Amino acid sequence: MEQNDQIRSILLTDEDDNEIEFDIMDNFAFEGESYYVLLPVDDERDDIEYVILRDRGEGELIGIEDERTLDRVFEEYKRRNSIEN
């Protein structure tokens, strides 16, 4: 995955080799790491389900397994974007 200021969506492949397009809602550094907050483009559900991934560099994004870290990163995203609970 390449990052530049013009890219507003990315195409990722899941563990079953399905390609999924995501809108990039935000990309920011937090506590020494870089994170992406994504939203599936074709998600037709009523509830919003964000995907938060850590940028390991060289185009590699990984999931966050630690729930506490995930919660803190999401809280930072909401703070940065003035989103209320």
Quote the pLDDT of residue 46: 66
pLDDT at position 85: 63
Q: Are 55 and 61 in contact (CB under 8 A)?
A: yes
Q: Where are the domains of the chain?
A: 9-80
Lowest mean pLDDT among 1-10, 34-43, 52-61, 76-85: 1-10
3-state secondary structure (DSSP) of residue 68? helix
pLDDT at residue 33 in the model: 95
Residue type (1 letter), 39: L
